[in-house]
Amino acid sequence: MPFLPNFITTMSLFCGFYSILFSLRENYYWAAILILIAGFIDGIDGRVARATNSTSEFGKEYDSLSDVIAFGVSPAIMAYLWQLNQYGRFGFIASFLFVACGALRLARFNSDTTNLSSFTGLPIPIAAAAVSSVVLLSAKVVGPVPALAVLGGMYVLSFMMVSTIRFPSFKHIAYIKAHPFQLLVAGLLLLVVVALAPELMIFLLTMGFIAGGIISNGVIYIRGFIKDKRQEKGAEHEGVTRKDNTV
């Protein structure tokens, strides 16, 4: 059992658990902050494991169990205590569905190793970041968010996690290795922009990632549909031509 990557995973789990305690104290702002910190830490442990050549099946399973707490249970409890509890059973179901779909998403991710360049379904850390960004946005920028919008958003995020929509993965892109300096500069500029208005920018970046995945899948679907139609017309034209030649 490698120590360093699993210790980093434990830090992510700690932030998720600590977030639940803040939610129980009705301090939703810091509950959301801790979920985002857990997401940042979660992006480090796998890279540390690969960099130190200490990847293991134990670490993979432990990471998924940690993610269920940090990005499934924590945001679900936060959203329920923040807005959804006024809807009774519908709010409870929305919160539980978020946790269940997140767990199913992680189970599918662990069992599917066919495509490493993209994610099938919305990654659970992004779903948790979406919930957290709405909490931060309402606390510092736009004021109270309608509870009905939060309820609908939880159902939509739950569906997207178990959907077949593909979202980009930045773990196995050759462009990152080929252009490290340019990406470093872009990352620094992004940090400066986020620092100017963190609550607003975190919300825009999260929603941009989600919208970008949906739009790209729509474009791919439309292109495939047009290609299939052209092939059908080509096959029909070829069949008519052969028939005419036979006659």
Q: For residue range 82-120, what is the model confidence (pLDDT) as tens digits?
A: 999 999 899 999 999 999 999 999 988 888 766 566 788
Confidence band of 149 (pLDDT split at 50, 70, 90): very high
pLDDT of residue 226: 83
State the Cα torsion 26-128-213-60 to the nearest 10°: 170
- The residue type found at 235 is A
Q: Where are the beta strands (DSSP E) in the chain?
A: 118-120, 166-168
pLDDT at residue 67 tops 90: yes
Distances (CA, A) of 80 to 21, 27, 74, 180, 219: 14, 13, 10, 41, 35
- How do residues 181-199 score in pLDDT, each as one tens digit? 777 787 788 787 777 788 8
Fold observed for domain 3-174:
Four Helix Bundle (Hemerythrin (Met), subunit A) (1.20.120)
pLDDT of residue 237: 60
**Averaged pLDDT of the chain:** 85
* Cβ atoms 210, 134 nearer than 8 A: no
Boundaries of every domain in the chain: 3-174
Confidence band of 174 (pLDDT split at 50, 70, 90): low
pLDDT of residue 18: 96
